[in-house]
Amino acid sequence: MTLPLWNCSASELHARVLAGACSVEQIVAATLERIAQREPDIHAWSWLDAEGALAAARKQDHDGARGSLSGVIVGLKDIIDTADMPTAYGAALYRDHRPARDAALVTRLRRAGAIILGKTVTTEFAYAAPGPTRNPHDTAHTPGGSSSGSAAAVAAGMAGLAISSQTGGSTIRPAAFCGVVGFKPTHGLIDSSGMKALAPSSDTVGLHARSVADIALAFDVLADGAAPSSVGTPIRIAWFPGPHAAAASSAAVAALGQVRHVLEQYGMLFAMPDIAPADVAALGECNSLIMAVEGAHSLEPEYRLHRERLATPTQRLIETGRAVPAERYREALEFVERHRIIFDAAMTNGGFDALLSFSAPGVAPPAADGTGNSLFNRPWSMLGTPCLSLPCGFSAGLPLAVQLVARRGADLALLTLGSEIERWLAQDQSITG
């Protein structure tokens, strides 16, 4: 049975275009039909440039130009600047804002042949105030945040790839809630120039897609200086439910344990890493503190000139950050830097290829309860490590996921390993069934 074009992965569509099996225009048209069906309920898009996408596709087909992302339809989180579309940063204050130039990553995507379809919904300034987006699996539930629209658009077949961001848990958690693959690279590996800053110490460009192969296809275009690396033989995984494991739901705990069981069946070795849970918990607290301080600095002009137009969570973040003593902020940065070295050493000395933990506390909560808790994401965001969220089944009709974490710079090895694990999980009936 042939899948409709909107239901194919980005890498599959790219291969079809290169083989002449379909045109880029056909892919865009099929995607727009899908958007017409799902968008009224999901609200993943803050701006949709249907005519611009069709025109770009027709030109590419007419010219015969084919790049490394031809056939890939992209949604951009609306904190990423585009010269030909509004960029509102999820804020009413910037509703009509039109940047002067594209963000660096947008330039790369366009040059590689990707079609930029529009801007996906974000929480205000990529923090906490939710937008209108709903979970494609159940619209009574949140898609997560802050990259709400990015994950939801991919999950609903309205984009093959979505560019997101993560400062706390804004890529991994929405991926888990929406049942797609989410990847947060090593901090700084993808140029974030032209992306609205919240907390530069941990702001990282993220990616959402339907498969690890799709992520790798885009990462190859976007990343600079990714070090060649390989996984070990046998593969060793650090088993680390973490200091907040008690906060995970019974379904999430069962899923994590089942994933371990499957991987052990394929010969992977598990061991406890030399990582202090209390230190990991402290890293999460540092993430919250540093985000507040740096967020207050990044958003100072908006707060000073238009405080009354900011959402309440944004105001509270800024006010909290302004009240933090400089010495406490400095100590937090020093603690993080020490533990970046400690974590990398623990992974290297233990011979671990990755660490396995929770992506989120459980399934997506009701939309009325907010965008979910990022406690399983904040420590890794602060360490700047690459993180990969993989779907691993459902509970009560909503997706579950697990998270793989590697040492800084081991992005390519993590994607290679993630692709293998993705394939093994797909073959296991206890997870897929």
Q: Is 64 buried (19+), middle (13-18) or exposed (0-12) by CB count in 10 A? A: exposed
CB 245 within 8 A of CB 388: no
Identified catalytic residue from 170, 381, 389, 419: 170
Q: 319 Cβ partners below 8 Å, 6+ apart? A: 296
The answer to whether residue 170 is catalytic is yes
The answer to whether residue 146 is catalytic is yes
The answer for 265, left when phi > 0, alpha when psi is -120 to 50, beta otherwise, is alpha
Bridge partners (DSSP) listed for residue 74: 116, 161
Tell me which amino acid residue 88 is.
A
The answer for 269, left when phi > 0, alpha when psi is -120 to 50, beta otherwise, is beta
Identified catalytic residue from 9, 11, 46, 146: 146
Q: 416 Cβ partners below 8 Å, 6+ apart? A: 230, 231
The answer to whether residue 298 is catalytic is no
Rg (CA), the chain: 20
Structure-token pair, residue 148 = 């709400």
How do strand 161-166 and strand 204-209 relate by DSSP bridges?
antiparallel
Give the separation between CA 391 and CA 425, rounded to whole angstroms. Answer: 9
Identified catalytic residue from 77, 119, 184, 196: 77
Q: Active-site residue numbers? A: 77, 146, 170
